[in-house]
Amino acid sequence: MVHRVDPRVKCIAMAAGVLFIVTTPPRAYSSFVLYALTILSLLTIARVPLAFAGTRLLLTLPFVLVIGAFIPFVKEGEIAGSYSLGALKLSVTYSGLLLFWNIAIKSALSVLCMVLLTATTRFDYLLRGLCSLGCPRLIVMLLSFLYRYLFLVSDDLMRMQRAESARDPGGRWWFTVKAFARMVGVLFVRTYERAERIYLAMCSRGFDGTIIARDAMALRRADIVFLVSVMICFGAARGAGGV
């Protein structure tokens, strides 16, 4: 059911969701529970396997850890505990821990919102949705090329790597590093040449530099119902946490 909702509606609903989440005070624990329940129930209704959402979530974990993990140690305030590692003395503060929790929970919930959006919306619909929401057409076009050619470029790289390892006697690692650097260079030149051919193909079918979007999509009643109910859920969750 979520899959059939207009992509514009999903974009707005999920962007609003993220906005609600990031403006929630860190101590509003009940709000975070309600957000999580809303998103998880939407994921369940949309039949997105929770394991899939979980793996996507794990992908963002390193970023959160790198940014957030130092905060409890460097933020000043009341000390929750301290450790001595030889000459190094580390202390964790309550305010630092709270900030870390704030970053961790908000990023996790926001990522889940985006997982819900991308897992239930075909990429071409998402692009059309972005386009009719007023996202610059040039950006939409760039995203569409990225989506179309990403795998092709990575296939190219894989073939080059295979050709390289077929001739690589093994051993000295810096040879591999050098070969890889060369490969990246070649890949860039190939991609550039492909881009030129694509441009010719576009021109030969009348492309004149302007970007024309396809006809607009029509909103249905179900889309409005979805938008309103998701907004109410997120709003209520936000309200539970106070201002």
- Nearest Cα residue to 237 out of 117, 113, 98: 113
Nearer residue to other proteins within complex by CB, 45 or 200:
200
Contact set with other proteins (CB under 8 A): 122-124, 127, 144-145, 147-149, 151-152, 194, 197-198, 200-208, 212, 214-215
Query: How near is the Cβ of 161 to other proteins at its closest, in Å?
Result: 20
Residues with Cβ < 8 Å from 67, sequence gap 6 or more? 103
Q: Output the CA–CA distances (angstroms, integers) from residue 128 to 73, 77, 139, 144, 220, in the order listed.
A: 45, 49, 12, 10, 16
Q: How far is the CB of 118 from other proteins (least distance, A)?
A: 14
- Shortest CB 203 distance to other proteins, Å: 6
Min CB(7)–other proteins separation in Å: 13
- The nearest distance, CB 127 to other proteins, in angstroms, is 7
For other proteins, give the closer residue by CB, 122 or 182.
122
The smaller minimum CB distance to other proteins, of residues 203 and 219, is found at 203
Cα–Cα distance measured from residue 226 to residue 232, given in angstroms and rounded to the nearest whole number: 10
Report whether 24 contacts 238 (CB < 8 A): yes
> Comparing C-alpha atoms, which of 157, 136, 114, 158 is closest to residue 15?
114
If the CB atoms of residues 7 and 96 are measured against other proteins, the closer one turns out to be 7
Q: Which residue number, 168 or 196, has a Cβ lying nearer to other proteins?
A: 196
